Structure 1
Amino acid sequence: MPTSTTLRRPATSSRNDSYIAVSPLMIYPGCMGRFSVYLRQADGYVLYASGEECFTERHRRALYDHGVTEVFIRASQAGHYHEYVERNLGTILMNETVPLPERAKLFHGVSLDIVKEAFETRLPDSVARKESFNRIIDFVNQGIQFLTLENSFKAVAQLVEHDYKTYAHCMHVFLYSTAILQSYGFDEELLVQCGLGAMLHDIGKTVIPENILNKPGALSSEERTIVNTHPVQGIGLCAQLPLSQTTYNCILFHHERMDGSGYPGGIRGYDIPIEARAVAIADVYDALTSDRPYAKAMNPFQVLRLMRDQMSNEIDLEMYKRFVQILSGADVL
């Protein structure tokens, strides 16, 4: 690790090189990465640590404490940086020397990247798709541990954007449904199984034609029938994966309703597994608070009022009340 006397050694790159900014707190002590770290100064970028050097906790914290909130990595090495962060994600998320807002940003960004890849590769029948699935498993395990920390849900919930994309929606549903099920005292193993189901609950939409999913107007009855196949399609896509019944329940039953009006099976009441009821509430809330091709986002108060007044026969009302309390405690409302 360079000392302060080597901090201003000449940079090996030109001013025209492309860089990305990252927090110095994301460079974890003792973990090697295949990327070099630079500081930005008036006359360009200076090399602070090469890929062969390790940060120490003292040097990393000193940068942050002296107001250096950004260090820089060559854009050409961004892939190596993202691999490094994901490899050390669990350690960074649980490190209390890193401010909670920084860890929340990391959690949010990595989760979006991982779910986006899963949707783009369309699980699960190739080596790349199996690797994508393993990334989701690893993230959910690490993410559940992080979400058990005090105020972690609040920190991440503040980062939720309301521009609807299916992969982002799945991450949000994971976040909300995990918070709901935590309030019931679910143990970590069960939360991981539910979290995985929440992440994958709309994976079946990857086989629905995009012109239907992104249609700006109302769907025809035929188009609606096609969209309504996505829970079953999702089960088909995941059939060869080592998933628990709890995970499958989230994928298959998240559009079932308490009054039996849902799909694909029209099951009702408490015959709907609790994990699927939680995903259903999270799914509705996030969809309605997001801009979609056919409807503008409603604000959270409007959505919760609509769910209470117009969906009281469809959702688990006791669970809904818990969810309102969770959102209120996170200052989302």
Structure 2
Amino acid sequence: MGLNTRAARPVSYFPVSPVMLFPEALGDFSVYLWQGGDFVLYTASGQKFTPRHRKVLHDNGVREVYVQSSEKPQYELYIERNLGSILMDETLPVEVRSQVFYEASNVVMQDIFDHKLPGGVRARHFDRVTDIVRSSIRFLASDKSLAAVAPFISHDYKTYTHCMHVFIYSVAVFQATGMSDADTFECGLGALLHDIGKARVPRRILNKRGALTQTEREVIKEHPVHGVSMCSHLPMTQNTINCILFHHEKLDGTGYPAGLRQEHIPLPVRIISMADIYDALTTARPYADAMPPYEALTLIRQQMRDSVDMDVFRRFVAVLSGADML
């Protein structure tokens, strides 16, 4: 009988704050402590993390525990399932809750965009997105949440992070305008999925560094219709569909896909359009550097005033200013 000479794969770990482990919540991953120069099992997969477990860590000043990298998907799913409880737990610092919200949401959105979707958005992905929206709306309504989320907003453009940013900005403005909870949910869902149609645009076009050809621009302009098509089998309201389909319409009628004008563009769509433009300008794209916020807002005010709603613009600036994001 020969010896197995294959080297064992090294086990890697990633750190987790103990406040992210919830008493009585069952996790399908093991938790380890770093003691005496090695990782030591603290709670096993399938074991409830109890108040006593948390108290022992707190009393001993333990600020980090560890999860094996191979169990990261299980940990991320655990965070998703408990996100609503995390965001409403006011014993946790708002900065911690903001980071969990941003990272958990990005995991979901990246998962959607990384999957090939010939048949459209899968129902299980849609359920995850609706859970994110439902869990985060109340949190984003609090006075300090937008300012706390701001440091996590990346200025390196990716489609899935862009969708997150547009959702965050849009929900803040929806709430500032007094929109009902039901409408905020439906339109927030549309904001989060507004660019889902780009999953059907070739990456060589999305990531092109130089100027697009006319043909490539026409391909890009198909993404709102693709987005609605990809979601046609899902239980969406007209509010949500409008946000996906019309977010590139302009008040002067020069937008797409329908060339809508003025009052024919619903207010929530105008808000999402503003957030979409602002985030695109303030993040680094393959063909343009990121603009500072003031410069981006100046450009919108001076060069786009005929195509965007200036009342929405003023509300948008007020929301950013109130969160110290300018």
Q: TM-score, normalised by structure 2?
A: 0.92
The counterpart of 1:169, out of the listed 158, 162, 168, is 162
Contact 1:163/1:291 (8 A) holds in 2: yes
Q: Secondary structure at the match of 1:158?
A: helix
Tell me how far 1:196 sits from its aligned partner: 0.8
- 2:19 corresponds to which residue? 25
Gaps of 5+ in 1: 1-13
Alpha-carbon distance in 2 for matches of 1:113, 1:81 = 11
Residues 1:55 and 2:49 are matched in the alignment: yes
Residues 1:201 and 2:168 are matched in the alignment: no
- 1:102 corresponds to which residue? 96
Distance 1:52 1:217, change over 3 A: closer
Alpha-carbon distance in 2 for matches of 1:229, 1:116 = 21
Alpha-carbon distance in 1 for matches of 2:59, 2:174 = 38
Give the counterpart letter for 2:246 in structure 1: F
Gaps of 5+ in 2: 1-7
Q: TM-score, normalised by structure 1?
A: 0.91
Tell me how far 1:270 sits from its aligned partner: 2.0
Alpha-carbon distance in 2 for matches of 1:296, 1:95 = 38
Q: Secondary structure at the match of 1:276?
A: helix
The counterpart of 1:72, out of the listed 44, 49, 66, is 66
Give the counterpart letter for 2:97 in structure 1: R
Alpha-carbon distance in 2 for matches of 1:94, 1:62 = 24
Mapping for residues 257-272 of structure 1, pairs under 5 Å: 257-272=250-265
Alpha-carbon distance in 2 for matches of 1:85, 1:198 = 22
- 2:3 corresponds to which residue? none
Tell me how far 1:124 sits from its aligned partner: 7.6
- 1:153 corresponds to which residue? 146
Alpha-carbon distance in 1 for matches of 2:284, 2:172 = 23
Alpha-carbon distance in 1 for matches of 2:265, 2:117 = 26
- 2:35 corresponds to which residue? 41
Tell me how far 1:121 sits from its aligned partner: 2.7
- 1:8 corresponds to which residue? none
Contact 2:117/2:199 (8 A) holds in 1: no
- 1:118 corresponds to which residue? 112
Tell me how far 1:217 sits from its aligned partner: 1.0
- 1:10 corresponds to which residue? none
Contact 1:30/1:56 (8 A) holds in 2: yes
Distance 1:148 1:122, change over 3 A: farther
Percent of pairs with identical residues? 48
- 1:240 corresponds to which residue? 233
Q: Aligned pairs, how many?
A: 319
Cα deviation code 1:239-279 (max 9, x no counterpart): 11111100011111111111111111111112100111011
- 1:296 corresponds to which residue? 289
- 2:175 corresponds to which residue? 182
Alignment RMSD (CA, Å): 1.9
- 2:311 corresponds to which residue? 318
